[in-house]
Amino acid sequence: MVKDMAALLSPKKLLAQHVAYLYNIVLLPRLEFRLQTTLFAESTINRMVSPMLSLIRQKAGFTSVTPLSALFTLLPFSIQQAFGRFLSFHVAS
């Protein structure tokens, strides 16, 4: 699902803010619904969402070696960390 969305958005003329919005509002809730019975390790979840994060890096004009921490703090919009969101969802339910 993540790879399909990244492939769909890649050729579009979107700003990084648009892609981050789609990541936060569309993709993460869909993944949350699909993963509501299972909690994966943080490395597995990071691997799952990496195509979208690399697309956000590309659209923002960052290099591919920009650390994720910089991606989460430097951009003028908030990108949610998938593992933290899924973990809080599992604890709440």
Domain that holds residue 45: 2-92
Q: How many CB atoms lie within 10 A of CB 69?
A: 9
Backbone angles phi, psi at 51, to 5 degrees: -60, -35
- Encode the chain (93 residues) as per-residue pLDDT tens digits: 999 999 999 999 999 889 989 999 999 999 989 888 888 898 999 899 999 989 988 888 888 777 777 777 766 667 888 888 888 888 887
Specify the number of domains making up the chain.
1
For residue 75, count CB atoms less than 10 angstroms from its CB and return exposed for 0-12, middle for 13-18, buried for 19 or more: middle
Q: How far apart are CA 91 and CA 75, in angstroms?
A: 28
The contacts of residue 26 (CB under 8 Å, 6+ apart) are: 5
What are the tokens at 9? 């958005």
Q: Say if pTM beats, i.e. exceeds, 0.85.
A: no
